[in-house]
């Protein structure tokens, strides 16, 4: 096929992560890329996100500044990359490429991709112990680190179980550190990880 765009019908992104909306063509002799425009349709209105022409790349919407860019890695690959995804980025994005033919006429093609942006729940955290581990001599220092994955930001809280079933909040950091451990520090500790 002469000058056809290829892409995907739908791309699923993760909130605060990055996504690439594919749009590519095989360069054809006698046709020179003139402009590339990515527009987004949201609530019935269409607006240009980023446009490439002879003078370079221009981001039109303030909310995409420093986040949206057209790839430059290979001729014919004009995919859109969006970093630090927001929930409001979801919608239909149209890639329109215009070429100038050798007789100076213009040819345009477009494809549309729907972007979904999902939040990912935090995973059950794991605890990493620093050397020398969980059995530590008195007077030593050690730390426990709580690690989880999911959509950022993730907040951590460390608790110590105390007799009577209560829990004592010790820290709101991922790491719980001791220097000069005492026998009284022995006990049961647990961490919680939470995101929105």
| Tens digits of residue pLDDT in 11-21 | 999 888 899 99
Same domain (yes/no): 57, 136: no
Range of the domain at 63: 5-118
Domain with residue 21: its CATH number is 2.60.40.10
Confidence of residue 3 (pLDDT cuts 50, 70, 90): confident
Q: Among 83, 89, 87, 91, which residue's Cα sits nearest to residue 196?
A: 87
CB neighbourhood size of 133 (10 A): 8
Q: What is the pLDDT of residue 68?
A: 97
Tell me the CA distances in angstroms from 103 to 48, 68, 159, one per residue in order: 28, 33, 74
Of 118, 148, 172, the residue that ends a domain is 118
In sequence order, which residues have a C-beta less than 8 Å from that of residue 61 and are 6 or more positions away?
40, 47, 48, 49, 68
| Distance between CA atoms of residues 34 and 23, nearest Å | 15
Residues 113 and 151 placed together within one structural domain of the fold: no
Per-residue model confidence (pLDDT) at position 196: 80
The domain total for the chain is: 2
Model confidence at 23: pLDDT above 80: yes
Q: What does pLDDT average to over the chain?
A: 91
Distances (CA, A) of 177 to 101, 181, 182, 194: 67, 10, 13, 20
Contacts of 146 (CB under 8 A, 6+ apart): 125, 126, 127, 156, 158, 174, 175, 176, 191, 192, 193
The pLDDT assigned to 171 comes to: 93
pLDDT at 37: 97
List 6's β-bridge partners, or say none.
Answer: 24
Question: Is the same domain home to 152 and 184?
Answer: yes
Task: Give yes or no: residues 114 and 146 share one domain.
Answer: no
| 3-class secondary structure, 164 | coil
- Check whether residue 104 and residue 34 sit in a common domain: yes
Query: Do 104 and 185 fall into the same domain?
Result: no
- Do residue 39 and residue 114 come from a single domain? yes
Could you tell me if 93 and 134 lie in one domain?
no
129-178: pLDDT as tens digits: 887 677 888 898 899 999 998 887 899 999 999 888 789 999 999 999 99
184 and 130 within one domain: yes
Q: pLDDT tens across 62-118, in order?
A: 999 999 999 998 999 999 999 999 999 999 999 999 999 999 999 999 999 999 999
Across the beta sheet with 10-14, what order do the strands follow? 10-14, 106-118, 91-101, 31-42, 45-53, 56-59
């Amino acid at each position: 096929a002469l000058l056809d765009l290829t892409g995907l019908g739908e791309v699923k992104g993760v909130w605060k992560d990055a996504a690439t909306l594919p749009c590519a063509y095989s360069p054809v002799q006698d046709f020179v890329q003139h402009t590339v425009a990515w527009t987004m349709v949201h609530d019935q209105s269409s607006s240009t996100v980023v446009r490439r022409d002879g003078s370079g790349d221009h981001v039109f919407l303030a909310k995409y500044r420093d986040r949206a860019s057209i790839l430059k890695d290979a001729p014919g690959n004009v995919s859109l990359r969006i970093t630090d995804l927001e929930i409001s980025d979801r919608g239909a994005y149209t890639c329109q490429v215009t070429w100038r033919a050798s007789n100076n006429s213009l040819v345009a093609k477009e494809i549309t991709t729907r972007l979904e942006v999902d939040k990912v729940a935090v995973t059950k955290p794991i605890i990493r112990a620093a050397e020398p581990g969980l059995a530590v001599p008195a007077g030593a220092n050690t730390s426990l680190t709580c690690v989880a994955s999911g959509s950022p930001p993730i907040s951590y809280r460390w608790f110590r179980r105390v007799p009577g079933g209560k829990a004592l909040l010790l820290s709101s950091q991922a790491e719980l550190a001791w220097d000069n451990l005492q026998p009284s520090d022995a006990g049961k500790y647990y961490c919680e990880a939470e995101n929105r």
